[in-house]
Chains A and B, each alone.
Chain A
Amino acid sequence: MLLAENTARARALAGGTDLVVDLKHAPGDVDLLVDVSQLPEFGGIGETEEGLRIGSMVTFSELMASPIVNQMTPEIVAASHTVGAVQTRNLGTIGGNLVTCVPSADSAPSLLALDAIVTIAGSDGKRSVPLEKFFVGPRKTILEPHELLVEILIPKKNLGKPSHFIKFGLRKGQALALVNVAAALYLNDDGTVAEPRIALGAVAPTPMFARKAEASLDGKKPDEENLLEAARVAVSEIKPIDDFRASANYRRHLVQTLTYRALKRSTEIASEH
């Protein structure tokens, strides 16, 4: 309610690992901070009828320590581990990471790859959208000023879906991703690929799916050639930029290599099952 009444200069405070820094750089921009991190509706991890529910204010450390998450969606644990360092993971929340919506948000690709759905609450009620639709542009989501991200749902059918996440940064710790890749897929009884997902980060204005690459692999045998082809198609879908961390060309190269590896590993996990 406070947020609804004071939309222009109010911000909801989650873990603070981004917002507190913003406040220091532009102290005049915010008049009202509403700490939502301790609200019970925004916390907790648990299984529901629909799937695995993760409260938006769950910290990365909590995700990593959660037996259910480790068991059901290990790639979300892997992705959480690549966020910042211990201290920032103890503060930073998965919801905050999504709402800040930087192209390189580490939590996005592995959630996208599992077709995560986000629930948003505002002064006019609740709504749910696929995570893909949540991102609008760099630092821009579909959230209206009076709305908050409440929870993230991994649909039941995707719990345990073979998946692999790879972050490529300049260093192992405390680095922003040059490229993030998450893949997920099932194998049909005849060994062909079903429901492939390829989610990419840091190579377009928002985290994205490589839809054409997915289509190119759907129903095919996951052999060397088809995986490489999918990786090549993924490169054609991205819009990477040149910046001081890496050139666009290098990012293209990474996307191809890492997409291939993520698909390959996902296939291996799938055939182990």
Chain B
Amino acid sequence: MIVKLKVNGEIRSADVSPETTLLKLLREHLNLTGAKLGCDVGDCGTCTVIVDGKSVNSCLMLAGRASGREVTTIEGLASSEQLHPLQETFEELGALQCGFCGPGMIISAKALLDKNPEPTVFEVRDALSGNLCRCTGYTKIIEAVLDAGRIMSTAEAKS
């Protein structure tokens, strides 16, 4: 089946078998390998992408269902001149160790901050509860999300 969708602002299409997940479509057909396969059953969050403004486990969404929708992956966050504030703070605060959880973590954080730029620690924890990290112990990740939120809301206040 042909799946046509908007990925990071560009219209893309691919011919996939019906059982193909959105994750496989992105990774294997569109060569966007930022979203990772960590468990393939919806437990780890490494495959998190944003579909029509909502974060989802792309390993649980069939590619066919993403047809006609708008998908944002980690590759769509930076511009050629600037990192997304989350990418900045994750780098600076050492929130990425092996980095495998990073793209999913940042996408989940973005989904949160887009709606709620000044979250409480509790809200951050809750928003990231579907993203596992085995390296960092989460502390720095949470700091980085809070920091990025601060950057984003000051930027907004200025503009």
A interface residues with partner B (beta carbon < 8 Å): 13, 15-17, 20-21, 23-24, 27, 33, 35, 37, 61, 84-88, 90-91, 172-174
| Nearest CB on B from A31, distance (A) | 10
With A84-B42, A87-B48, A87-B55 as given contacts, are A173 and B61 in contact (CB-CB < 8 Å)? no
Residues of A within 8 A of B59 (CB): 20
- Can you give 23 A-B contacts (C-beta < 8 A)? A16-B62, A17-B42, A20-B60, A21-B40, A21-B60, A24-B40, A27-B19, A35-B64, A85-B45, A85-B131, A86-B112, A86-B127, A86-B129, A87-B42, A87-B45, A87-B48, A87-B130, A88-B42, A88-B130, A90-B55, A172-B129, A173-B129, A174-B43
Known: A85-B45, A86-B111, A174-B43. A16 touches B60 (CB 8 A): yes
Q: Knowing A85-B45, A90-B55, A174-B129, say if A23 contacts B19 (CB, 8 Å).
A: yes
Mask: chain B, 1-37; 1 = CB below 8 Å from A; 0 = not: 0000000000000000011010000000000000000
CB-nearest residue of chain A relative to B19? A23
Q: In the complex, what's the smallest C-beta–C-beta distance from A147 to chain B, in angstroms?
A: 23
> Nearest B residue to A175 by beta-carbon distance?
B129
Return chain B residues, CB-CB under 8 Å to A20.
Answer: 21, 59-62
> How far is A122 from B128 in the complex, measured between Cα atoms in Å?
39
A91, B18: Cβ atoms under 8 Å? no
CB distance from A140 to the nearest CB of B (A): 22
Inside 8 A of B64's CB, which chain A residues have their CB? 35
> Shortest 4 CB-CB distances between A and B: which pairs?
A85-B130, A173-B129, A90-B54, A85-B129
Contact of A13 among B21, B55, B62, B130 (CB under 8 A): B62
The number of inter-chain residue pairs (CB within 8 angstroms) is 70
- How long is the Cα–Cα vector from A24 to B57 in the complex, in angstroms? 15
Using C-beta atoms within 8 Å of the partner chain, give the interface range for chain B: 20 to 34
A24 to B40, CA, bound (A): 9
A-chain residues with CB within 8 Å of residue B56 when the two chains form the complex: 87, 90-91
Bound Cα distance from A33 to B60, whole angstroms = 14
Q: Which residues of B contact A173 (CB under 8 A)?
A: 125-126, 129-130
Q: How far is the CA of A33 from the CA of B63 in the complex (A)?
A: 13
Residues of chain B touching chain A, judged by Cβ–Cβ distance below 8 Å, are 18-19, 21, 40-43, 45, 48, 54-57, 59-62, 64-65, 108, 111-112, 125-127, 129-131
Residues of B within 8 A of A90 (CB): 54-56
Contacts of B65 in A (CB 8 A): 16, 35, 37
Question: Which residue of A15, A27, A33, A174 contacts B130 across the interface (Cβ within 8 Å)?
Answer: A174
The answer to whether A87 and B57 touch across the interface, beta carbons within 8 angstroms, is yes
Residue in chain A with minimal CB distance to B53: A90
Instruction: Name which residue of chain B comes closest to A88, CB basis.
Output: B42
For the complex, give the distance between the alpha carbons of A20 and B59 in Å.
8
- Give bound CA distance, A19 to B131, whole Å: 21
Q: Are A86 and B62 in contact, CB atoms less than 8 angstroms apart?
A: no
Query: Which residue on A lies nearest to B57, using beta carbons?
Result: A87
How far does the Cβ of B104 sit from chain A's closest Cβ, in whole Å?
9
Least distance between A104 CB and chain B CB atoms (Å): 15
Contacts of A85 in B (CB 8 A): 45, 129-131
Is the beta-carbon distance between A91 and B129 smaller than 8 angstroms?
A: no
In whole angstroms, how far apart are the Cα atoms of A173 and B42 in the complex?
13
In the complex, which residue of chain B has the Cβ closest to the Cβ of A35? Answer: B65
* Alpha-carbon distance A20/B54, docked complex (angstroms): 19
- A-B contact sample (6 more), CB < 8 A, given A13-B62, A86-B108, A91-B56: A16-B60, A33-B62, A37-B65, A86-B55, A86-B112, A86-B129
